[in-house]
Amino acid sequence: MRRPSIASGLAAELVRVNPAAGAHRVAVRAAVSVAVPLLLLWSVDRVEWSIYAAFGAFTALYGRTHVHLSRLQMQAAAGALLVSVTVLGVVVGTSSHRAWLAVPVAGVVAAIGSLFSDAMDWHPPGPLFLVFAFAACASIPSHPVDVAVAAGVALASAAFAALIGYAGSAWRSIRVPGAPRTTWRRTAFRDVARRHLARNVGGVVLAGSISTAAGIGHPYWAMVSAVVPLAATRPSAQVVRGVHRVIGTFVGLAAAAVLLALDPGGLVLILVVVALQCAAELLVGRNYALALVAITPLALLMVHLAAPTPARVLLEDRGVETVIGVAVGLAIGYLTRDRSGPALRASSAG
């Protein structure tokens, strides 16, 4: 039987839609974890703090395949780092040199995220959310008083997300008595893949430097897009993730343009954000490009909540920086590929 070509294998991976695999449970937890903090902030007229709450709520995204103590441990570790890098971003945001200062510090954040992700078997893997949380907060002009606010809001939101995650495990124990408990595979820090760490750092620093030097307004989108392909280890899987990122982002930009033109505000905007978060988690495990149709407007609306920006600027920056970041990530992945193994093969996007 004739083996499929590399091109046909990659094409099949690009359009493949995986089974749902209980994504609705993750989606509900993520939606509740972001909805409650945002609604509380809206009720006290502090919507400008919503970005801190949203990044703390990212804690809910970790450990989706784990339950009980295993999930709690993973979410506690990820949540602590999410809070820490959010606060670090606000600290950098107090500097008048924040644009260039954010680039090397984001590289350090990428190194830490890569290290912990590989050593503690994080799911989702990689430093993407840590880099996003740090660099987005670093891009917003801040004052020293904002540091304490960011710490308190992000910590409360992360703790709430972890509580929701543990409650989900408890409910599963009641609903499915005797269900198997997943274990948390740990690796010694000294044994993690150094190449993976170097790739993430290089991708973040290079993509951030290019975008900052070009004067694009939101370099963190290039940084985040650079680490997306690098979450996969094989070149073919990196290509799939990169193409998914670009295609999904540009379709998502069309949806974002409509939402920004409608200019929802207050409670309506928060409900839209919650709905998009839910949709993203329903789709991210099935097909990354489809998920980005929801993730892209979600990210833009989150930024718009915290720091209102003209819609055209947001849309253009997101599109250009996504292409820059993916190009950098794919180039680094290709240049640092393992040349000792077999030739490029079609594989899963991971």
pLDDT at 1: 45
For 295-325, what is each residue's pLDDT tens digit?
999 999 888 777 777 888 889 999 999 999 9
Identity (one letter) of the amino acid at 206? L
pLDDT at 345: 40
The alpha helices in 176-219, defined as continuous H runs, are 194-213
List the chain residues with pLDDT less than 70. 1-11, 13-15, 20-21, 65-68, 168-193, 340-350
pLDDT at 172: 57
pTM of the model: 0.87
pLDDT at 50: 92
Q: Which bin fits 344, alpha (ψ -120 to 50), beta or left (φ > 0)?
A: beta
pLDDT at 309: 79
Identity (one letter) of the amino acid at 243? V
Please check whether residue 272 is in contact with residue 301, taking contact to mean a CB–CB distance below 8 angstroms. Answer: yes
Please check whether residue 208 is in contact with residue 102, taking contact to mean a CB–CB distance below 8 angstroms. Answer: yes
pLDDT at 10: 61
pLDDT at 350: 34
In angstroms, rounded to a whole number, what is the distance separating the alpha carbons of residues 90 and 122? 25
